[in-house]
Amino acid sequence: MSLSLVQGRALVGLEAASVTIEVHLANGLPSFTLVGLAETEVKESRERVRSAIQNAGLEFPNNKKIIVNLAPADLPKDSGRFDLPIALGILAASGQIDGARLAGHEFAGELSLSGELRPVRGALAMALALHTRGVATRLVLPLDSAQEAALVPDGEVYGARHLLDVVRQFVVDSEAASQWPDPPADGWARIQAAPAASGPRYADLADVKGHASAKRALEIAAAGGHSLLMMGEPGSGKSMLAQRFAGLLPAMSIDEALESAAVASLGGPFATSRWMSRPTCSPHHTSSAVALVGGGSPPRPGGHALS
């Protein structure tokens, strides 16, 4: 079959929108064309995918005209998350894996030139999108990213270390697969969320001596869910008190923890040790309003939010 479809997701703000990766192999002058409003890092996947497939011992169709479409065409796509689904689409279109078995799966992962899978940002946001829509879909990610995506309850998340680990699950010719290097024991596995060793730890307001009125104000704000503005001279204790505010708030619900973790994962890998911990930040007192919301960089939600 010269046409294959693979499912993935693109990050648009806090949303992980569904993307269909369409791969078509046609006769004609050999070329590799990628369309669908892709950013530069996505277009560069052509070289990563080509090298990863060849260095993994698989066959890259150098004598074909390869067209890859990322649909919908009006949705911006960035990062290297599409490397893995593009590679699988090429292998399915060339008949090296069973394209029909790719249905019911979503893939994301950046490929190294050797075929190793590198983590991607927003893995938890992808798993959360599947969870909120109640879609029974297997999510296949690099092993490190799968650890964070598994925090979403009732999800079916699989982690892989190498392109071959994924290809083995959908291979057509088992004899060809027997010639590949022996897979590592943890090269492919369903990932379960690791239970938290203990509850979140916050700085204790009891450690603060004095400031009776300020501590009372913090307690009232925490109890009523109010905003709080502290003003005073430098060194008067505002930051010290603010750092202890999260410890006064009630424990996070699962939905709150998922939403908070999903926002954090958009800026990079989410540390599972921060699970169920209310995020806080301490911006420098000279930071401008523009700097607080990300400066002049493109809008990529991440980091820590104020409690």
* Spatial distance between the Cα atoms of 8 and 18, rounded to a whole number of angstroms: 6
Q: Which of 253, 95, 261, 239 is nearest to 173 (CA)?
A: 95
Q: What are the tens digits of pLDDT across the range 130-169? A: 888 877 789 999 998 998 899 888 889 999 999 999 999 9
Check pLDDT > 90 for residue 15: no
Q: What is the mean pLDDT of the chain?
A: 86
Q: What six digits make up the tokens of 1?
A: 């079959």
For residue 72, is the peptide bond before it cis, meaning its omega torsion is within 30 degrees of 0?
Answer: yes
* Spatial distance between the Cα atoms of 37 and 12, rounded to a whole number of angstroms: 13
- Domain spans of the chain, in order of start: 3-190, 205-292
- Residue 205's alpha-carbon distances to 6, 215, 241, 282, in angstroms, are 52, 8, 7, 17
User: pLDDT value at position 196?
Assistant: 57
Amino acid symbol at 54: Q
| DSSP 8-state symbol, 176 | H
Going by pLDDT thresholds of 50, 70 and 90, the confidence category of residue 176 is low
Check pLDDT > 90 for residue 184: no
Check pLDDT > 60 for residue 296: no
User: pLDDT value at position 70?
Assistant: 97
Residues 242-260 have a mean pLDDT of 87
Least confident of 4-13, 45-54, 245-254: 245-254
Residue ranges of E strands in the chain: 3-12, 15-26, 31-35, 65-71, 105-107, 110-111, 117-118, 138-142, 156-160, 188-190
* Spatial distance between the Cα atoms of 253 and 57, rounded to a whole number of angstroms: 47
Amino acid symbol at 16: A
Contact 275, 135 (CB under 8 A): no
Give the distance, in angstroms, between the CA of residue 127 and the centroid of all CA atoms in the same chain: 8
The CATH number of the domain covering residues in 3-190: 3.30.230.10
Helix, strand, coil percentages in the chain from 3-state DSSP, rounded to 5 = 35, 20, 45
Residue ranges of E strands in 82-203: 105-107, 110-111, 117-118, 138-142, 156-160, 188-190
Going by pLDDT thresholds of 50, 70 and 90, the confidence category of residue 32 is very high
Check pLDDT > 50 for residue 303: no
Bridge partners for 289 per DSSP: none
Q: Output the pTM of the full model.
A: 0.81
3-class secondary structure, 247: helix
State how beta strands 156-160 and 110-111 pair.
unpaired
